Amino acid sequence: MRISGINWYGFETTDEVVHGLSNQDYKVILSTMYNMGYNTVRLPYSNQMVESPVIPSSIGYANSSGPINSELKGQNSLQIMDKVIAEAGTLGLKVILDNHRSEAGNSAEFNGLWYTSAYSETSWIADWKMLVARYSGYVDASGNPTLIGGDLRNEPHFYNGAGNGACWTGDSKAGGCPTGNAAQNWPAAATRAANAILAINPNLLIFVEGVDCYSGDCAFWGENLEGVKSYPLQLNVPHRIIYSAHDYGPAEYDQIWFNSTTSNQSLDAVWTKFWAYICVDGIAPVWVGEFGTTNDAASAESSVPGSEGQWFSSLVSFLGNQPLIHWSYWALNGEDHYGLLDATYDAIPASSLKQQLLSSIQSKLSSAPPGCGVLPATPLSPVAKAISSSSIGLSWSAVVVPAKCSVTYSVYRGASAQFAVSSATLIASGVTAPNYSDAALQPSTTYYYAVEATDAVGDSTASAKASASTLAASVCGAVPSNPGGLAALPLSSTSIALNWKTVPAPANCSVSYSVFRSSANDFAPSSRNQIVAGLSGSSFADTALAASTNYFYVVKAVDGKGASGASPEASATTAKPSIGAECRVVYTIVSQWTNGFQAAIAVTNTSSTALHGWKLAFAFPGSQQVTTLWNASYLQVGQAITLTDEGYNWSIAAGATYNALGLVATYTGINYSPANFSLNGSICTVP
């Protein structure tokens, strides 16, 4: 069987439970995986979850289809994992456990190692032994094991800000990374853990990820397996090892191989060099344990060189041409920007194109789990009833569940009684109760519905049609309150960033914001000094301004009833014009992981006089939000940020460079670097 898998994360986070359970039943989510053609689920976990399981607070017990997750009430994280793995086996899905990190949290362990000060290597191995003993007895209806292997550690990496993370034997940039270096040699540690696991269950597969860099040759965290060529693992039980790589596109990190000359062939060469050679040359099997892309069409398929879509479609094609290489997509999770589902966790993929591409390389499962062999009956007596101006409730008679089957329902909606029941009119699937609430509808509009019952064999015929009309729209009857917390921050000699606090929308209203500007304080906002209207968010960048000029601002909230009063006034002065820059700034991304990164900032005083007291200002070009910053105090307003010296570092001599600034931040989408910096109001050069 070729592993054609999906990652479903959450147990490794501070939630300590797979995500999506606030909206959907865990059995429905697993059925969705199965019905979409995936045969394996990779379940990340943390050592903290294993050793100190909690009763999760993020589980819902009802949705529009009725009760959900009833079996999980009062269960702790480990007990919930028991039920998830058991249900996966019932469906015929296989499970790979993934030790994603030590402490509960997001992404890989930042230190790049398989242990931390709180969770030692001894704990890491002991937790693996406990889980293997716990789940080795879980089998499907045919008696085959559900747990097929363990991914020993997620994304080991050497470069962690200090250059003392995990390395692979023979790495010339890590002093050769000898096997005697027990604190850093990853293959030696993986061998110790693998042999301990195989002593309990010699039939399990052992998945060993690569590192980031090998002798100065760098890739994504966990992707670089070049060291296997000279230093493969030798386990006590032969033929158990599968090497694993994680690969991503430029949306994750803009590697040097993503450029205007990138082609399918050049990408194939990169993959072959870092990991595919292991399978192609017959050394051992390979599993691409993570790869993922966003849900717009251009990110799934594109001919633009160096683009996200070119990378993803090329990798899918590469895997299609290498059927012996296993894979698992990151991730199922609807809250993830790479998510296969949307935030509702219903059975409709967030991107049909992406799912279509992945389906083309799946190793198909059998059409039904053992035992279920009968189509369900047609749902009867559907009734639709208006709930509000934007929602309709639908109910029907539950069908009799065939022996050894489980039944869910699919709901279809059309604009007339003659609408066709098809994928184009499907609005919900995986519904477990004989009722459904349809929301986000137009007021005073008639909608028509049909229902099908589904089990592992297939779909029933559609029910009779039912219809209802939404109620008339409610009227917005109140003006919003005044916005507060307005702050202004200069970005450059021509722009100022504004940020304010949003106000609650009155009943039946939606709120937007208008911004007003003047060159004098205590001004009266009017149509003559309004510079923008209809803003939905709480920030705005005012551009095309004069240099070294003070500007004053107020904001009003607006809804269908009218405008609020003005916010308290805020002001800022644009920077001095750039007339021969007297500073230079180098901004370097030191390391990057899913939704987070570390950056270093070096500031050079290129003037002929020393600086005594400094402020460095710049704006992030994306969604970046600083969580930690060292050797300066900082203020972030929207995407604009100002760094101020701490006193002990207030002076930068003429011609000197201050290179002790650094930060850790989160981001979504592409992590572009800032392009413009100003120091004490003067624009700096940027390489």
Could you report the per-residue pLDDT of 238-287, keeping only the tens digit for each? 999 999 999 999 999 999 999 999 999 999 999 999 999 999 999 999 99
Question: How many Cβ atoms are within 10 Å of 26's Cβ, its own excluded?
Answer: 23
Could you report the per-residue pLDDT of 369-388, keeping only the tens digit for each? 456 778 899 999 999 999 88
Yes or no: say if 604 and 677 are a contact pair by the CB < 8 Å rule: no
pLDDT at 580 over 70: no
Q: What is the DSSP letter of 185?
A: B
Measured at the alpha carbon of residue 9, what is the angle toward residues 6 and 15, in degrees to the nearest 5?
A: 165
Q: Give the class (CATH, top level) of 484-573.
A: mainly beta
Report the share of the chain in percent with pLDDT over 90: 72
Domain boundaries 583-683, corresponding CATH code = 2.60.40.290
The strand pair at 530-535 and 380-386 is best described as unpaired
Yes or no: say if 638 and 622 are a contact pair by the CB < 8 Å rule: no
Give the least confident one: 517-526, 534-543, 577-586. Answer: 577-586
Residue 367: the pLDDT is 42
CA distances from 502 to 317, 368, 513, 535, 686 (A): 46, 51, 9, 11, 35
223 flagged as catalytic: no
H/E element holding 641?
A: strand 640-644
Question: How many Cβ atoms are within 10 Å of 244's Cβ, its own excluded?
Answer: 30
**Lookup result for tokens 């890989």:** 108
H/E element holding 383?
A: strand 380-386
Question: Which structure tokens are listed for 205?
Answer: 């597969």
Which CATH number applies to 380-469: 3.40.309.10, 3.40.50.150, 3.60.15.10, 2.60.40.10? 2.60.40.10
How far apart CA 108 and CA 104 sit, in angstroms, is 10
Yes or no: say if 72 and 80 are a contact pair by the CB < 8 Å rule: yes
Yes or no: say if 410 and 436 are a contact pair by the CB < 8 Å rule: no
Range list of β-strands (E), 15-146: 40-46, 62-63, 66-67, 94-101
H/E element holding 381?
A: strand 380-386
CA distances from 358 to 59, 291, 311, 312, 584 (A): 29, 11, 14, 10, 46
How far apart CA 378 and CA 359 sit, in angstroms, is 29
Chain centroid to CA 676: how far?
28
Q: Mean pLDDT throughout 317-334?
A: 95
Could you report the per-residue pLDDT of 406-463, keeping only the tens digit for each? 888 999 999 999 999 988 899 988 888 888 989 889 999 999 999 999 988 788 999 9
Catalytic residue among 12, 16, 87, 155: 155
How far apart CA 244 and CA 208 sit, in angstroms, is 6
Catalytic residue among 16, 223, 290, 582: 290
Bridge partners, 663 (sequence order): 599, 629
The strand pair at 147-151 and 62-63 is best described as unpaired
Residue 581: the pLDDT is 59
Residue 141: the pLDDT is 84
Question: Which structure tokens are listed for 534?
Answer: 């209809």
Interacting residues of 339 by C-beta distance below 8 A, sequence separation 6+: 295, 331, 332, 333, 350
CA distances from 289 to 8, 42, 96, 146, 414 (A): 12, 8, 10, 18, 40
Would the CATH topology of 380-469 be identical to that of 484-573? Answer: yes
Q: pLDDT-based confidence at 318, cuts 50/70/90?
A: very high
CA distances from 182 to 150, 152, 168, 192, 505 (A): 21, 16, 11, 10, 58
290 flagged as catalytic: yes
3-state SS, residue 490: strand
Mean pLDDT of the chain: 92
Q: Give the class (CATH, top level) of 4-359.
A: alpha beta
How far apart CA 59 and CA 62 sit, in angstroms, is 9
- Mind giving me the DSSP string for 188-202? HHHHHHHHHHHHH-T
Q: Mean pLDDT throughout 79-96?
A: 96
In the chain, where the domains are located:
4-359, 380-469, 484-573, 583-683
Closest listed residue to residue 662, CA positions, set 597, 574, 568, 573:
597
Q: Mean pLDDT throughout 304-309?
A: 95
